[in-house]
Amino acid sequence: MTSSSRVWFITGASSGFGRNMAEFVLQKGDNVIATARRPSLLDDLVAQYPTERLLVLSLDVTQQQQVIDAFSRAKASFGRIDVVVNNAGVTNLGELESVAEEKAKIIMDTNFWGAVYVTRKAVKFFRESNPPGAGGRLLQISSIAGLVGTPGRAFYTASKHALNGLTESVAAEIDPAWNIKITLIEPGSFDTELISKTTFSNPHPAYDNPDLPFTRLRESWSTRVGRGDSRRAVQAFYKLADLKDPPLHFIVGVDANEMARKKLADLQASLDLYESWSVGLDRDA
């Protein structure tokens, strides 16, 4: 490991953005701690890169002790971590009334609580384990669902809204002297395995109207292809980690930007229409 090469800690590195990120970072000459629930899916990368460049670890982010142990292994192997990519996630689609509680809990445990465990440990590691003042970069892989709710994704959307809110608060409370930079990456539809791995809950009979948006989506899902190229997207993520003052929100993908702009317009219209209703609501002195 050279002094100029960075060390990246990536969760959910066996597929999707995580896998593409790990491959691209290694190609750029940086070093990777790649974590996954099924580390054997990374055996091909292990065969390509020496242990001083790549460390593959088994990690279920819902298990807090495993997160702590993974960061400890990273410290022992590389001495520091420069960038954490908080990427692990799952989904299950269905109307609110059709998703079983145990499936909803898995989504929240992984996408929110798992991300919380990684976020806590990353902030502490950047502050206390890296050289003083070195800080670090935390890239939170959220989703446009963290900003915009769509039918059939109530729990996935809730998990990403929760991650967004948590991250905004963390970014506001950390000491600037720690030199920790945090960015929420909010992608639209990309050609990751998240589409092929998505499962559906059994339809609720009350939602059998064929014209409902999610009914149409369910029927067309098998032919769905992500609009964006995930390999190109991770190159943009890599550039984010180079920025001196990165944005808190990074919306990526043409569809994601369209959805965000529509939400902004709707919020602005609502403010313009109803802001006057707040006049006179302050308590009397």
CATH of the domain at 127: 3.40.50.720
Nearest-angstrom CA–CA distance, 42 and 148: 33
The catalytically annotated residue of 156, 159, 181, 189 is 156
Q: Facing residues of 181 across strands?
A: 137
Nearest-angstrom CA–CA distance, 216 and 219: 5
191: confidence class by pLDDT, cuts 50, 70, 90: confident
Nearest-angstrom CA–CA distance, 156 and 145: 8
Helices (H), 12-109: 16-27, 43-48, 64-78, 101-108
The catalytically annotated residue of 14, 142, 189, 230 is 142
The catalytically annotated residue of 15, 143, 159, 160 is 160
Query: Does residue 284 sit within a domain?
Result: no
Residue 156 among the catalytic residues: yes
Phi and psi angles of residue 241, each rounded to the nearest 5 degrees, phi first: -70, -10
The 10s digit of each residue's pLDDT in 230-264 is 999 999 999 999 999 999 999 999 999 999 999 99
The predicted structure's pLDDT at residue 203: 87
Query: Does residue 207 sit within a domain?
Result: yes
Nearest-angstrom CA–CA distance, 98 and 44: 39
227: confidence class by pLDDT, cuts 50, 70, 90: confident
Query: Does residue 282 sit within a domain?
Result: no
Query: Does residue 285 sit within a domain?
Result: no
**Helix pair 230-240, 16-27: axis angle to 10 deg:** 60
Residue 75 among the catalytic residues: no
222: confidence class by pLDDT, cuts 50, 70, 90: low
Query: Does residue 260 sit within a domain?
Result: yes
Residue 142 among the catalytic residues: yes
Beta strands in 80-133 (DSSP E): 83-86, 92-93
The domain of 94 spans 7-277
The 10s digit of each residue's pLDDT in 124-168 is 999 999 999 999 999 999 999 999 999 999 999 999 999 999 999
Q: State the average pLDDT for the chain.
A: 94
Nearest-angstrom CA–CA distance, 240 and 218: 34
Query: Does residue 1 sit within a domain?
Result: no
Nearest-angstrom CA–CA distance, 170 and 172: 5
Q: Where is average pLDDT lowest: 26-35, 153-162, 206-215, 241-250?
A: 206-215
Residue 14 near residue 38 (C-beta atoms within 8 A): yes
pLDDT value at 197 more than 80: no
The predicted structure's pLDDT at residue 129: 98
pLDDT value at 199 more than 90: no
Query: Does residue 76 sit within a domain?
Result: yes
Q: Which helix (H) or strand (E) holds 171?
A: helix 154-173
The 10s digit of each residue's pLDDT in 43-82 is 999 999 999 999 999 999 999 999 999 999 999 999 999 9
Number of domains in the chain: 1
Q: What is the mean pLDDT of residues 184-188?
A: 97
Query: Does residue 2 sit within a domain?
Result: no
